[in-house]
Amino acid sequence: MKIAPSILDANWQSLQGEINSIATADRIHLDIMDGHYVPNLSFGPPALKDINFPVETEAHLMVDNPENFFEMFQTLGCKTITFHLENTGSDKAFEFLKHLKEKNIKPGICIDGNTQPEELTDEILAIAEQVLVMSVKAGFGGQSFTPECMDKIKAIRARGFKGEIEVDGGVNIDNVSGLKEAGADIVVVGSFLMKKSVEERTSIIKNFQQI
């Protein structure tokens, strides 16, 4: 299983060291929250402008009007931009996915904990290169995993989606095998990894990658 650590729960006093400690991950996941779509604030590109990322980054935009923000994350170097179906609706989501693709960004669509996969139209699944399935309600790190996400993953695969399925929220080493069997390609791991010491992280990342 591929792993994308979220730096939401990193120690921001020594952020470069934190990032270096997860350099063997497949990707680094940036959780962007604006206090509107989710009741929480996180960080924006200025907080990361002096950081050297040793591995590809992806932005998970939990923000209203994601079309106003994606360019600053592309400038930061993000290869994948994922936004929420819940705050665009289907028509705008399709247009925005198309726009991201035209801008040479890997386009991703996220469904939040309460959203059913049937709300993703065939048109959206045909153009999205990543579907991010939340296994919690978006907004905070450290929440408990909801196993209902397994059925969502299976349903998306059953519709023939060939892109990447990523799972986000409450993922740990005990639930990752089930996610793989359900059809997921990559997991976002926040508190389970970032609450561990810097020295332990490379071997934890390897444990995920060996599943």
Output the smallest distance, CB 54 to ligand DX5, in A.
20
Q: Which of 73, 168, 182, 193 binds Zn ion (CB under 5 A)?
A: 168
Of the two residues 84 and 201, which places its CB atom closer to Zn ion in the complex?
A: 84
Q: Which of 19, 78, 97, 138 binds ligand DX5 (CB under 6 A)?
A: 138
Of the two residues 188 and 205, which places its CB atom closer to ligand DX5 in the complex?
A: 188
The residues that are catalytic are 31, 168
Question: What residues from 141 to 180 belong to the interface with ligand DX5 (CB under 6 A)?
Answer: 141-143, 168-171
Is the CB of residue 138 less than 8 Å from the CB of residue 115?
Answer: no
For the sheet with 2-5, list strands across it: 2-5, 186-189, 164-168, 130-134, 106-111, 80-84, 57-62, 28-33
- Cβ neighbours of residue 193 under 8 Å, at least 6 residues apart? 3, 5, 22, 201, 204, 205
CA dihedral 169, 173, 177, 180 (to 10 degrees): 40
Positions that interact with ligand DX5 (CB under 6 A):
6, 8, 29, 31, 60, 136, 138-143, 168-171, 188-192
Positions that interact with Zn ion (CB under 5 A):
31, 60, 168
